[in-house]
Amino acid sequence: MGKPKNHASAMSRRSFLGRSLAAAAGPMILPRHVLGMAGQPGANDRVVTGHIGVGGQGQYLLDQFSENAGAVCDVDANHLQAALDKLGRRAYSCKDYRELLDREDIDAVVIATPDHWHGVQTVHACEAGKDVYCEKPASKTIAEGRAMMETARRYGRVVQIGSQGRSTADAHAACTYLRNGQLGAISKVACWHIPNPTGGDPTKAGEPPAELDWDLWLGPAAWRPYNPDYCHVLFRWMLDLGGGSIRDRGAHVFSVVQWCLDLDMTYPSRVTATGTPPLEGLWDVPTAMEVVFEYDNPKLTITWGQPGVKGSEHEFGAVFHGEKGNLVLGGGDGGCFVDDAIRAYLPPEDGVHPFRSPGHVRNFLDCVKSREKPVMDIQFGHRVATLCNLADISYRVGRTLAFDPENETIVNDEQANRLLHTPGRGPWHV
């Protein structure tokens, strides 16, 4: 099959602007009683969100932001219609997120596109003056994560990454328990996850369905023909698109582990990843995977095992090994589970009292108003994603990486450093 013209790069900014202006004639999203009256809500009282990517997780987030959502955007017309149906009210809709970013009536964007879009869209949103709630993982490369963080800081934007484990009661309980030294020093955290699946049919490659703009779905990702087996949802099982479970659930589990052990500003010194590449089917993420993250200060090892040793009945989770015993945390995303004894623990008044998030979305909306940093600020999101991305690089080059935490580069390994960045296709760069 021949390679089609790159529509994304073919579209000029001028033609884009022309369409934007036309689009601006659509419904304006105005908060209630914009001018404000005594006894009535005042102007700008509500954060209006624009939703980029409204399939799957995007639909869930539409529910979460149901009272804020003012615009929806998706490259799949079916997703877009489903989102409008869900909202049940007039809302601006578009296919190209740049049109949404051009709207002055949108305060913040909610990004729930496939992983390969997160970096570009977050950077563009910050440059357009929008705050951002972006699904995890923050990035697919370390350079992308750095660009997201730098842009957020340069423009003073609030960026929350959707590793919502930090906003759950049980993760908070675990964090409180561990940070108050109830297990003593932690020497090892063993994360487990079921193996990645194999499958996908390479022969399904063909023309994309009429409702889907395939070129725009791919965006910055390297061109390939449409195949439903790596499009919606299933992109997770391609190394360069979703990166497998370590970038999916790993971004959840590592987030909670980092938080519980106060490691948000600490990187491992060495990372070793091994895995079994599938030799059948379309997908290319390793089926089994073992990763060891070695920290020097504190002296600690975090491991990721697929399948690893299960600590509870959950598909994934982490076991904290301490001087005085173990703590099992099942899950790590919106569902975190610890034992009742951990939940019941109350720290002393002068002990460590970690921030208790009122809910991941609520925390984000609060921060949009207060301009404080959210519980899963982009800096932490980037650093969590860096663990996943380092594991990916180590697996791909097949050797242990020594990591320079200051410069976020790999020591004395030029090839590995080439993988810190992935060139974007067409006009899609960070």
Partner 1 sequence: MYRLMWIALLLLGLFLPLSGMAAEPPQFVEGLTSPFENIRRDAVQSAAETGAPAVAPIADLLASSSPAVVKAATCALENIVAHAGCPDADPERDAVAKELSNLLDAARPEGTRREALQLLGLIGGDSEVNGIAALLREPALAEEARAALDRIPTPGAATALIGAIGSVTPEMRIGLFDTLARKEARGAIATIQPYLTDADPETRWRALEALCRLGVAPNNLPVPPQAFAREDRKRYMRGFLWSAYANIEMGNTEVAENMFATLAAFPMGRDQASAALLGLAKLNSPKLVEHALGYLAEPKIRLTAIETLSTADIPGIDERVEKGIPLANPANRVSMLQILAARKSANAGALLAAMRQDPSPEVRVAAFELLGEEPSDSDLQETLRKSASWNREHAAREFLKRAVRVLEAGDAEKARSMFEAVASATLPEELLASAYQGIARVGSAASLQIVDTAYASLSAPESAVSTKAYAAAVECAYASVHAAQPDRAAAESEVRRIVETSKNPDAVKFALGKLRQLGVDSRVYARRQGFITDWRLIGPFPNEEDSAFGKSYFNEAEPLPTDGVQLEDATYAWKAISCDAVPAIVDLKAEFSGGENVCVYAAAELTSAQETSVAFLLGTNDGCEVWLNQIKVHEHPEGRSLNVDEDRVNAVLKTGANTLLIKVLQNRRSWGFCARVVSEDGSPIDTATLQPSP
Contacts with partner 1, residue ranges (CB under 8 A): 2-3, 6, 9-10, 12-14, 17, 31-33, 36-46, 67, 89, 104, 126-130, 153-157, 202-203, 222-223, 277-282, 284, 340, 370-371, 396-399, 412-419, 421, 423-427, 429
Minimum distance from residue 98 beta carbon to partner 1 (Å): 11
Give Cα 129 distance to the centre of its chain. Answer: 20
Minimum distance from residue 352 beta carbon to partner 1 (Å): 25
CA nearest neighbour of 273 among 236, 246, 251, 310: 246
What 3 state SS string does 94-133 have?
ECCHHHHHCCCCCCEEEECCCHHHHHHHHHHHHHCCCEEE
Q: Which is nearer to partner 1, 209 or 398 (CB)?
A: 398
Minimum distance from residue 48 beta carbon to partner 1 (Å): 9
Q: Which is nearer to partner 1, 31 or 55 (CB)?
A: 31
Q: Which is nearer to partner 1, 85 or 280 (CB)?
A: 280
Buried b (16+ CB within 10 A) or exposed e, 359-387: ebbebbbbbbeeeeebbbbbbbbbbbbbb
User: What strands lie across the sheet with 401-404, from one edge to the other?
Assistant: 336-337, 325-331, 316-322, 186-193, 300-306, 289-295, 270-275, 401-404, 409-410
Minimum distance from residue 200 beta carbon to partner 1 (Å): 10
d(CA 416, CA 376) in angstroms, rounded, equals 28
Cα dist. 133→25, 126, 336, 378, 384 in Å?
26, 11, 21, 9, 16
Q: Which is nearer to partner 1, 153 or 188 (CB)?
A: 153
d(CA 269, CA 83) in angstroms, rounded, equals 44
Q: Which is nearer to partner 1, 297 or 407 (CB)?
A: 407
Q: Which is nearer to partner 1, 67 or 349 (CB)?
A: 67
d(CA 304, CA 409) in angstroms, rounded, equals 21
Minimum distance from residue 332 beta carbon to partner 1 (Å): 17
Minimum distance from residue 429 beta carbon to partner 1 (Å): 5
Minimum distance from residue 272 beta carbon to partner 1 (Å): 14
Q: Which is nearer to partner 1, 27 or 351 (CB)?
A: 27
